[in-house]
């Protein structure tokens, strides 16, 4: 948390971030920062009684209940893009500004997705594990080339677009499903990509990559039926939100050979409990590191610090989600 230059007046509660966005504001505000604050509802509630700003990652559940206990809160700054952990409607009703960092970490997520795609196609993880054990198995790790294959992108926002450009440079064809866009959308035409209905994309793509926010509509968008509709040689990648995938459905589809492999950077529960996907030879699992590059984190921190500082000094926020100044 940050707290204010006004003695004893708490200004911001904050989940742990590295680098810390509080270094500059800390000269002016009292700060309360603790890495596990997201997991201590009572402590968070207590600190929020006097806080003017709350800075969170994706783990702190900012509910209407919690906000009701924060009478002085002016801004909730989300150090990231996904807003599924914040009740934005409740914040708006209370006149609290919500900001995020949409331009800070999209490249990092797109690059990780590309890396996972290559890792799946060339069996990099099992090939490394076997070689590190002292074996030399070349034929076993014969992979596939991505050039000439079709990448199906579900959700064509910032990250989907960055991924499309990079995959095209690798010689891939791009198919897109996004309910808000159509074939004639300039974003799709410019890339000479093909818009497809969801089911057609699943059947047509060699690799399906998911880039949608988690909402009531997208919860378990990918379940057994969707995986079974993919090509048996296909790969599935999720670097968006874990709740978009039903993991038991994915595990069953993999077990039955309905698709060739999957890579998940995000999980239904984080951290996850060990289940059918852990240790599966055709699955790559990473601990929600999509946004974790030094450059991306630096941009995230700068964006958060700038907007908190602006709002607390009466200026409009730049990366606001609802409105740019507090209305309380």
Binding residues for ligand MLT (CB under 6 A): 57-58, 80-82, 105, 290-291
Q: Which one, 37 or 229, has the nearer CB to ligand MLT?
A: 37
3-state SS class at 64: helix
Sheet holding 207-210, edge to edge: 194-195, 173-177, 150-154, 207-210, 235-238, 261-264, 283-285
Neighbours of 106 (CB within 10 A): 23
Q: Which one, 86 or 253, has the nearer CB to ligand MLT?
A: 86
Give the sign of the dihedral formed by CA 285, CA 201, CA 172, CA 179.
negative
Q: Which one, 146 or 163, has the nearer CB to ligand MLT?
A: 163
Q: Which one, 58 or 99, has the nearer CB to ligand MLT?
A: 58
Q: Which one, 57 or 161, has the nearer CB to ligand MLT?
A: 57
195 and 176 in contact (C-beta within 8 Å)? yes
Residue 94 token pair: 């209370």
Q: Distances in Å between the alpha carbon of 261 and those of 237, 250, 272?
A: 9, 10, 19
Q: Distances in Å between the alpha carbon of 230 and those of 67, 225, 277?
A: 42, 9, 18
CB of 62 to ligand MLT, least distance (A): 13
List beta partners, residue 208.
152, 236
List alpha helices for 16-157, DSSP H: 41-48, 64-68, 88-93, 106-121, 124-132
* Buried/exposed code over 161-171 (b: 16+ C-beta within 10 A; e: otherwise): bbbbebbeeee
Active site residue ranges? 241, 270, 288
- Measured distance CA(23)–CA(25) in Å, rounded: 6
Q: Which one, 286 or 322, has the nearer CB to ligand MLT?
A: 286
- Identify the CA nearest to 149 among candidates 228, 109, 209: 209
Residue showing tokens 């050039």: 147
Q: Which one, 82 or 275, has the nearer CB to ligand MLT?
A: 82
Sheet holding 30-33, edge to edge: 2-3, 30-33, 10-14, 53-56, 75-78, 97-99
């Amino acid at each position: 948390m940050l707290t204010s230059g006004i003695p004893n007046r708490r200004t911001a509660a904050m989940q742990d971030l590295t680098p810390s966005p509080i270094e500059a504001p800390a000269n002016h505000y009292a700060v309360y920062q603790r890495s596990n604050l997201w997991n201590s509802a009572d402590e968070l509630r207590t600190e929020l009684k006097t806080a003017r700003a709350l800075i969170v990652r994706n783990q702190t559940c900012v509910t209407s209940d919690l906000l009701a206990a924060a009478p002085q809160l002016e801004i909730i700054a989300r150090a990231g893009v996904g807003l599924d952990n914040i009740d934005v409607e409740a914040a708006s009703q209370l006149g609290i500004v919500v900001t995020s960092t949409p331009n800070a970490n999209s490249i990092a997520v797109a690059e990780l997705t590309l890396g996972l795609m290559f890792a799946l196609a060339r069996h990099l993880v099992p090939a490394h594990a076997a070689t590190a054990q002292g074996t030399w198995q070349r034929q076993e790790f014969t992979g596939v080339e991505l050039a000439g294959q079709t990448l199906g992108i579900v959700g064509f926002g910032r990250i989907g677009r960055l991924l499309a450009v990079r995959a095209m440079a690798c010689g891939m064809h791009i198919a897109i499903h996004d309910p808000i866009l159509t074939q004639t959308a300039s974003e799709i035409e410019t890339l000479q990509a093909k818009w497809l209905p969801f089911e057609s994309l699943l059947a047509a793509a060699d690799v399906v990559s998911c880039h949608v926010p988690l909402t009531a509509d997208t919860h378990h968008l990918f379940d057994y039926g969707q995986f079974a509709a993919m090509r048996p040689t296909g790969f599935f990648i999720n670097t968006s939100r874990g709740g978009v995938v039903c993991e038991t459905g994915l595990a069953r589809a993999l077990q039955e050979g309905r698709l060739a492999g999957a890579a998940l950077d995000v999980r239904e529960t984080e951290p996850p409990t060990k289940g059918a996907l852990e240790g599966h030879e055709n699955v790559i699992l990473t601990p929600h590191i999509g946004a974790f590059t030094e450059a991306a984190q630096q941009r995230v921190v700068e964006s958060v610090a700038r907007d908190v500082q602006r709002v607390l000094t009466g200026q409009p926020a730049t990366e606001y989600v609802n409105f740019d100044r507090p209305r309380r």
